[in-house]
Structure 1
Amino acid sequence: MPTERFERLSQRKKKKIADAIREEMEHSPIEKLNMCRIAKKASISRGSLYLYFENKNDMICFSLAQEAARRLEQIRASISRQS
């Protein structure tokens, strides 16, 4: 999961990084995720990614957790509309 340093970033920067990770995951198999491409898309250095996530697995878990939370919110909203 993200480091404390990541949590201190602005919401805008966190979103940009999260979007870059998600986009890379949508277009590449997990074993071929490229930290340099993610960093470039997020407009940060590759080294910064390692300041924000301990390793690639942490980054993947973070992205999957975000997606799960988004889906859960969609399901809850759908249930609320039906009630």
Structure 2
Amino acid sequence: MVPALPVCCGAGAPSCGPGPPAATATEVTGAGDTFAGTFLAHWLDGLPSRQVLTSAVHAATEHLGAPPVPIPAQFRS
């Protein structure tokens, strides 16, 4: 089981380090899968919980800035 991490928001909240990088969402499909896959891979490797969560958030954020996957014309509505 992964230990609970503090929620970092509001005045007086504990510091959890730098937040995720800024990203403009151009492709959201698969961001949750990217987060989950990164989280599980690092967790199963036995990395510290804070590093696991930080890596997963950063991977999902980077995915948001990826170019969208082209959809073939016959499948567009």
Give the TM-score range, shorter chain.
Answer: 0.3 to 0.5
- Higher radius of gyration, 1 or 2: 2
TM-score, normalised on structure 1?
A: 0.34
TM-score normalised by length of structure 2: 0.36
Please identify which structure carries the higher helix content.
Answer: 1
